Structure 1
């Protein structure tokens, strides 16, 4: 079942396991992304910043930081629900290296919902990031806490 767009205003009770949301071919990882992320994070590993070293590697080219791909994917697909906030991530895996020029598609599915306490519910999303060929690049689980409708009264 297709979920509403990411700009939602929903309580825990409005979110159902099985909901999906996909952002297709939404963002291409650029040279500027990699350079800016290296500067921001301080991660200047040669596989990210050295054309020569990367060409000599098993990848044959420079690759994006896994955390850069993760950050871009999260920004593309995450709910902007004012009733929800991030509780963390589990099982983040950088499955396939991402070269500069790779365009990302991000798929999200609600895989678990449960009451957390009297005020909040727990919603777990599974993310899969793919390229234009459908190759899986990254997978993770995003855990969120969402206001319960009954808690407002």
Structure 2
């Protein structure tokens, strides 16, 4: 079941388990992304910023920061619903490295909905990020709390 377009304005009761939203080949992770993220995060690990270190590793080149890939993917598929807010992430895994110049796709599926309290519902999304060859790069569950419809 396809989800409504990204950035909805929905109450908890309008969100259904099984909704999916996909962005195919949505974003290429660039040299500039990696350099800027290193500067912002102060993560200058040699596998991210050194061609020499990367060439001596088991990877085929420099790899992007896992948190960079996560942030880009989140921006690609997050539902910026003004009636909801993030409650956290579970089971975040960087399954395979992301080389600079990899183009990623992102998939979001509602896997669970349940009342949280009288005012909010809990919605859990499964995120999956893949490369051009459909290899899974990242997976996690995004937990949100969403306003319940007033009676």
Give TM-score scaled by structure 2 length.
Answer: 0.99
The separation in 1 between residues aligned to 2:60 and 2:84, in whole angstroms, is 41
Segments ≥4 residues shifted beyond 3 Å: none
After TM superposition, list the pairs within 5 Å mapping 1:1-150 onto structure 2. Answer: 1-150=1-150
Q: Secondary structure at the match of 1:64?
A: coil
Q: Secondary structure at the match of 1:18?
A: coil
The separation in 1 between residues aligned to 2:101 and 2:62, in whole angstroms, is 10
User: Which stretches in structure 2 are left out of the alignment for 5+ residues?
Assistant: none
Q: CA RMSD in A?
A: 0.6
The separation in 1 between residues aligned to 2:133 and 2:61, in whole angstroms, is 18
Q: State the Cα distance separating 1:60 from its structure 2 match.
A: 2.7
Deviations 1:5-41 (A, max 9, x none): 1120000000000110001111000000000000000
The separation in 1 between residues aligned to 2:28 and 2:19, in whole angstroms, is 26
Q: State the Cα distance separating 1:122 from its structure 2 match.
A: 0.1
User: Which stretches in structure 1 are left out of the alignment for 5+ residues?
Assistant: none
How many residues are matched? 151
